[in-house]
Structure 1
Amino acid sequence: MTQGAPAGGAAPHALPLVVRTAALDADAVASLVDLLPAGDPVAWLRRGDGVVGWGVAASVRTGGPRRFEDADAWWAEQAAHAVVRDDVDLPGSGLVCFGSFAFTDGVAEESVLVVPEVVVGRRDGVTWVTTVARGELRLHDVPLEPQPAPPGPVNLRFADGARSGEEWMGVVADAVARIGAGDLEKVVLARDLIATSDEPVDVRYPVRRLAEAYPTCWTFHVDGLFGATPELLVRRERGLVTSRVLAGTIRRTGDDERDLALAATLARSSKDLEEHEYAVRSVADALGPHCSSMNVPEAPFVLHLPNVMHLATDVAGVVGVVGDAVAVSSLALAAALHPSAAVGGTPTRVATDLIAEIEGMRRGRYAGPVGWMDATGDGEWGIALRSAEIEGPSRTTVRLFAGCGIVADSDPAAELVESQAKLVPVRDALG
């Protein structure tokens, strides 16, 4: 585990984080995403609400099988020693961190938690600003003016990632054969696309466009990883735990009448219903030990997004006991859920081993948990889907990701089409 030191080279934790949250006038901020400056922006937005931040007051990087536990322990220590004055007392006010975690247990893949110096949030018509510093109270003299529109990528080119479309269909066919042989029930296989720009990519450009184009998704950015995920892995808020499961996808045509017919087809599809059932079961099994009661709907609904439709189920539960509500943070719940069948497969270990064997792509933080958490452990964690990562010190390369759930009757060509549909949001956002 590595962690950032405060300015001046003092030892980590030598001084506590001093946090001040104050309410703002309702009309003080028109758009959260437009506030983000170029330096170290972070974001978690949906329907114009959420939290954004910039600067780094504290951070930690973890890796390997204990990446979640190490990050959770670091955060508990920060929160225990922090001096917090919060005049708002809403989810996302007070001391918060933003995080993004690697998909695999590999020690080479870094995960990160970061505490911004400034956080601006909005929820239920209430807007606030939080400032954070080591050992001193920052005055609320933070300028909250919209920033100039960031430039788009210059001369953007797209190319195949680790595998071409033809090669990836061969991998899907291999997986279908193994499922047919009884090795496993489902596996999620991903592919990547490489975008290259002549100039460094300003992440605020695609983040702004995603937030505008996909308001019902959770638009995020943490440490170079950005996207608009339709899937909320887990939310913990004052004892209530919720998780949205998406599995089973069909592309929209843009014709409303035709799309309604396609939605009905998706809702009856045995292949998609089977894939969805695996995903729901994996989430319910992971949350069950932490909940005193749970509600798992018997049938999914169809979630309509601008480019695709998904089978969706909202699983809800109540955290078991008072002690558990304190001990099991939203990040710990995310760790218990990861990887769900929606991004790994069933059985989990067999599926993730097969991904490592045949996918041929480094996932990094794609399909890992991404989101935020407050000092009490409440927070929201999505799955980093419909996402991309800006890579390298030059920031001229962006790697886009898409994955598909493969079951016994999956057709490789149809899965390739589905993956292409899932690449559309970020590809369009880049310009």
Structure 2
Amino acid sequence: MQSALVARTVAVPAEVAADLIALLPADAPVSWVRRGEGLVGWGVSATLRTTGPTRFTDAAKWWAELVARSTVTDEVGEPGTGLVAFGSFAFADDASVDSVLTVPAVVVGRRGAVAWVTTIGDVLPREWLPERALPAVAPQGVTYADGALDSEQWMSAVAEAVARIEAGALEKVVLARDLVATAESPIDVRWPLAQLASAYPMCWTFHVDGLFGATPELLVRRERGLVTSRVLAGTIRRTGDETRDDELAGALSRSSKDLEEHEYAVRSVADALEPHCSSMNVPEAPFVLHLPNVMHLATDVTGVVHDGITSLELAAALHPSAAVGGTPRDRAVALIDELEQMSRDRYAAPVGWMDAAGDGEWGIALRSALLSGDTVRLFAGCGVVGSSDPAAELAESQAKLVPVRDALGG
């Protein structure tokens, strides 16, 4: 049994947390940052690793018991203050892939003009600043190789998925591919994190236990009884020409293929949240979310959550949504396992944080990669429906690999 923790949260000047990513030392860094706000942490006070179909319930139980035993002094009282855990979960019920929930020794947060630091155990609140570590350096000599499938093989998998959909086996499936990058020496994750946070400020830049990225998709936020889920499905690559991109955004908003894909994703989120909410708002039409490299159809689903339902429980109920799995869910997940010929590991699964009150933010681990030493495994996926074209889906997947490739310098 994990021993009880003693956590203390105090306010600090906002300028101290002006650049959260820059604060990170090399000691087990974690991050969840958007537009300069959010949470970062380092060191390890407690960790749970779990596998298989009970990974979410195992984590929720462990966290509830740890919170009940621990002592928290919180002088700030914002979501994300007090005792906080960062988590990253396996996509599938695969017993060989770890899901992790970790409690850092130090957490620094900022929301608007309010900033704070939480320390656990022997680290005192006034002594939280890390020793100045050597700055992260850019990876050198990065080379790329195909992952489980090369481009032609992956397009064949997409074509097979289209055939299954046209035969009536299912309505939509999301197929992913991987790419393997290798550097000349071990990569310091703080380098790509800083690049991603700078280049994609509207995304959530995250890192937990080797999984890092900048996701545009908020699976669920729970904050003082209110729940929000941002659904993205339907994508088009930007050209860099403002006039042309406006034309493409208009085309995206009228595309029957993309609107069909988006409708499946929104419906799956609304259906999963409804049992846990007393009221909900589901917009009738999506908006176009503009990111530096792509544009997405997006819908924000909101609701009032029942008392006692935590953000992690909501994330578990939502996973996998049609945006990363397909419709119907079970058939789509089975087809993913058949056609992708790889393990997604923790790609396209919940990643984020939760506090002792159950508030938290969980994104879908997209635009992401797994780092191990000098090797990075990049992932990208595309929603496939009956009207999908394999070559177009390949181009979309290549666009989705751009953020991490650029962050690695290649």
Q: TM class, shorter-chain normalised?
A: over 0.9
Aligned to 1:406: 384
Counterpart of 1:426 (choices 401, 404, 409) is 404
> Is 1:331 aligned with 2:306?
no
Aligned to 1:286: 272
Aligned partner of residue 126 in structure 2, secondary structure: coil
Contact 1:26–1:127 (CA under 8 A) maintained in structure 2: yes
Aligned to 2:260: 274
Aligned to 1:227: 213
> Is 1:197 aligned with 2:176?
no
Which one-letter code corresponds to 2:408 in the other structure? L
Aligned partner of residue 335 in structure 1, secondary structure: helix
- Cα distance in 2 for partners of 1:114, 1:26 equals 25
Counterpart of 2:36 (choices 30, 35, 48) is 48
Aligned to 2:287: 301
Return closer, same or farther for 1:264/1:99 CA change in 2, 3 Å cut-off.
same
| Superposition deviation, residue 154 in structure 1 | 1.6
Partner deviation per Cα, 1:267-299 (whole Å, 9 max, x = no partner): 000000000000000000000000010000000
For residues 127-138 of structure 1, what are the structure 2 equivalents within 5 Å?
127-133=115-121, 138=124
- Cα distance in 1 for partners of 2:42, 2:126 equals 15
Partner deviation per Cα, 1:330-371 (whole Å, 9 max, x = no partner): 000000000000000000000000000111111000000000
Aligned to 2:249: 263
Which one-letter code corresponds to 1:426 in the other structure? V
- Cα distance in 2 for partners of 1:46, 1:106 equals 31
Which one-letter code corresponds to 1:312 in the other structure? A
Contact 1:19–1:137 (CA under 8 A) maintained in structure 2: no
> Is 1:93 aligned with 2:81?
yes
Aligned partner of residue 365 in structure 1, secondary structure: coil
For residues 6-405 of structure 1, what are the structure 2 equivalents within 5 Å?
12-13=1-2, 15-133=3-121, 138-143=124-129, 147-320=133-306, 325-326=307-308, 328-391=309-372, 395-405=373-383
Give the unaligned 5+ runs of structure 1: 1-11
Give the unaligned 5+ runs of structure 2: none
Contact 2:21–2:31 (CA under 8 A) maintained in structure 1: yes
Aligned partner of residue 180 in structure 2, secondary structure: strand
| Superposition deviation, residue 153 in structure 1 | 1.1
Aligned partner of residue 115 in structure 2, secondary structure: strand
- Cα distance in 2 for partners of 1:365, 1:301 equals 28
Contact 1:278–1:346 (CA under 8 A) maintained in structure 2: yes
Give TM-score, length-normalised by structure 1. 0.93
- Cα distance in 2 for partners of 1:356, 1:27 equals 47
Count residues with an aligned counterpart. 409
| Superposition deviation, residue 146 in structure 1 | 6.7
Contact 1:131–1:140 (CA under 8 A) maintained in structure 2: no
- Cα distance in 1 for partners of 2:362, 2:174 equals 20
Return closer, same or farther for 1:259/1:139 CA change in 2, 3 Å cut-off.
closer
- Cα distance in 2 for partners of 1:64, 1:253 equals 42
Return closer, same or farther for 1:137/1:147 CA change in 2, 3 Å cut-off.
closer
Contact 1:235–1:330 (CA under 8 A) maintained in structure 2: yes
| Superposition deviation, residue 82 in structure 1 | 1.0
- Cα distance in 1 for partners of 2:125, 2:19 equals 22
- Cα distance in 2 for partners of 1:214, 1:244 equals 17
Which one-letter code corresponds to 1:30 in the other structure? A
Contact 1:34–1:147 (CA under 8 A) maintained in structure 2: no
- Cα distance in 2 for partners of 1:169, 1:157 equals 23
Contact 2:105–2:123 (CA under 8 A) maintained in structure 1: no
Identity among equivalent positions (%) equals 68
Contact 2:17–2:109 (CA under 8 A) maintained in structure 1: no
RMSD: 1.1
